[in-house]
Structure 1
Amino acid sequence: MENLPIYVYLAFGVTVLLAIWLFYRATNHSKSFLIGILFWIIIQSLLALGGFYNNPDKLTSRFPLLILPPLLFLISLLVTKSGRVFLDRLDLRSLTLFHVIRIPVELVLFWLCVSKAVPEAMTFHGRNFDIFSGISAPIIYYFGFVTKRLNKWAIIAWNLICLLLLLNVVSSAILSLPDRFAQFGFEQPNIALGYFPFVLLPSLLVPLVLLSTIAAIKQLLKK
């Protein structure tokens, strides 16, 4: 990771800031959400900077610490009354636009692949078509909420497609972790996600995308 171009770090940093800002808007400027997100970022960043995740022999066993806490938090939102109220109060328009962050994420993954830090399967040159979600988000926003030419079922269908595309790239990321990639035919192990700041992709950006998708589907089904 020493030879990674500086623009890759800058692009990813801007993407993280954009994601926080967009979701902060979706929460109607919830201070508690912002404090919680910043606390989580600090914890994972300190662990990554301390080398907790960047040992290839231990990355696979420690990787759940990046994704399980946000996943459990999302489940708690779905099963508790206060959590469901929180999801229902999120701004649906902002949740839709939030998916634009998937464009710079895909660019960063491509640059990481060029630098031999992730497998090609995790990029749009491989089996990852997640960039479709980011490109189509402004279109869905315009026709769904500005001109209102799309009904709720069309927007639900789009969110479901986005969800499947997300699960596809997440599965590629997990299967290509250092001690598994050879078993599943990946040409390059996924090592980038063990380093700062890229640990924030599985621990922050992916959970926020998942949360925005599920919250949007939940709200649309209630209408």
Structure 2
Amino acid sequence: MTLHPPGSASTAAFLCIVSSVLASLIAAVGVATGSTRRAGAFALGLAVWLLLLSGYVASGVMQQPVPWVMLFLLTSNLAAIAAALSPLGGLLARELPLWALVGFQGFRLPLELVLHAWGEAGTIPMTMTWEGSNFDVISGIVALALAPASVRWHSAAWIANGVGLVLLLNVARVSVMSSPLPFAWEVEPPLTLAAHLPYALIVPVCVAGALLGHLVLSRALLERR
């Protein structure tokens, strides 16, 4: 699967967003556990996981979208679900303030700006932007707007979590339907980010990271009713 490479500025912005998400996750573990050692162990495990996934992408098997791309998407998101439901996910839900869990999703605002730039550059189809069927930019705006309010009102966190989760599910739908799959939409260019590094990191870091954040926030809200 070919990819028209985006500009260096948008690629650098993307890598900054990926780095900020990873740094936020590692910092969250450090705060929740109160241990830099555990945060370091988590960072090491995260690095190994991403190296394994990157090796999978670099091997070239993703050039055949069925079933390898679907397996990549499924594995990344199942890992996020498992982490959220694990004891570590429970610890994050108990120890982190709601405003931090809500505000974490704010990275989706700059990410959508990058995706829009990539759409205009012909790297991804416009279906993956707010001019098409992806409205996830709203999630980032809502998260940043309601994070301060969630300090006092749990309802603000519920709203941000609900909006973000619904829009994340829509992102998953649009991503699949924009990919070069037999049942997908006929779009040009098809979405092939998952088959190329470093752009494939959008799945295990940004998409799966957002899912992990929503599930941990859901646990936090349910435990603090």
Q: Does TM, normalized by the shorter one, top 0.5? A: yes
| Shift of residue 50, structure 1, vs aligned partner | 3.6
How far residue 171 of structure 1 moved from its aligned partner, in angstroms, is 0.7
How far the C-alpha of 1:122 sits from its partner, in A, is 1.0
User: Deviation of residue 47 (structure 1)?
Assistant: 2.9
Aligned-partner Cα distance in 2 for 1:115–1:156:
36
The aligned runs of 1:89-108 (5 Å cut-off) are 89-108=95-114
TM-score between both structures, scaled by the size of structure 1: 0.84
Q: Secondary structure at the match of 2:27?
A: helix
| Change beyond 3 A, Cα 1:92–1:206 | same
Counterpart position of 2:23: 21
Q: Give ranges in structure 1 of 5+ residues lacking alignment.
A: none
Structure 1 residues 17 and 141, CA gap change in structure 2 (3 angstroms): same
- In structure 2, the residue matched to 1:71 is 77
Q: Deviations over 1:107-160 (max 9, x none)?
A: 221122223232211101111111111122222112222xx2xx2123212201
**Which residue is 2:194 aligned to?**
193
Equivalent residues in 2 for 1:12-161, closer than 5 Å: 12-27=14-29, 28=31, 30-53=39-62, 55=63, 58-77=64-83, 84-145=90-151, 148=152, 151-161=153-163
The CA RMSD over aligned residues, in Å, is 2.3
> Taking every aligned residue pair, what percent have the same amino acid on both sides?
26
Counting matched residue pairs gives 215
Equivalent residue number for residue 204 of structure 1: 205
Q: Is the 8 A contact 2:124 2:189 kept in 1?
A: yes
* Distance of 1:131 and 1:60 partners within structure 2: 29
Q: Quick one: structure 1 residues 44 and 78, their matched pair in 2 at CA, closer, same or farther if it must change by over 3 Å?
A: closer
Counterparts of 1:23 and 1:125, CA distance in 2: 30
Paired residue for 1:168, among 167, 170, 173?
170
**TM norm structure 2:** 0.84
